[in-house]
Amino acid sequence: MSAIGSVFLGDFQRHRMLSSTPPSSPPPGHNGNTMSMAVAASQPLDEIPESVDGTESSAKTSPSLPEGNDSSHDAFLTQTAAAIDPALSLELRLRWIEALILGVRQDARERKGKDKASDPRPGESLIRLAEDVQRRLNSVVESNDGLKKFMNQYDQHAPLLTPAFALSGTLPGPAPAYENMSPKELEALLAEMEPDIRAADRDMREIELLEQRGALTAGKLADYKTLQHRLQILLATQEEDMKLAASLEKRIASLVERHAIHVDALSELFVAWDDILSETESKARRLERDKDERRRLGYE
Give the integer Cα–Cα distance in Å for 48 and 64: 23
Question: What pLDDT is recorded for position 150?
Answer: 81
Can you give the pLDDT of all 300 residues of the chain as single tens digits?
A: 444 444 444 444 444 444 444 444 444 444 444 444 444 444 444 444 444 444 444 434 444 444 444 555 555 555 555 678 888 888 888 888 877 776 666 554 555 544 444 455 544 567 777 888 888 888 888 888 887 888 887 777 777 777 665 655 555 556 666 677 788 888 888 888 888 989 999 999 998 888 888 777 766 777 778 888 898 999 999 999 999 999 999 999 999 999 999 999 999 999 999 999 999 999 999 999 999 998 888 887
Question: What pLDDT is recorded for position 165?
Answer: 59
Question: What pLDDT is recorded for position 7?
Answer: 43
Contact indicator for 127, 92 with CB cutoff of 8 Å: no
Of residues 13, 7, 72, 74, the one with CA closest to residue 36: 7
**Chain-centre distance for alpha carbon 210:** 38
pTM assigned to the model: 0.26
Give the integer Cα–Cα distance in Å for 54 and 30: 14
**Chain-centre distance for alpha carbon 229:** 53
> Please, is 27 exposed, middle or buried when counting C-beta atoms within 10 Å of its C-beta (0-12, 13-18, 19+)?
exposed
Instruction: Provide the 10 A C-beta neighbour count for residue 262.
Output: 10
Question: What pLDDT is recorded for position 81?
Answer: 53
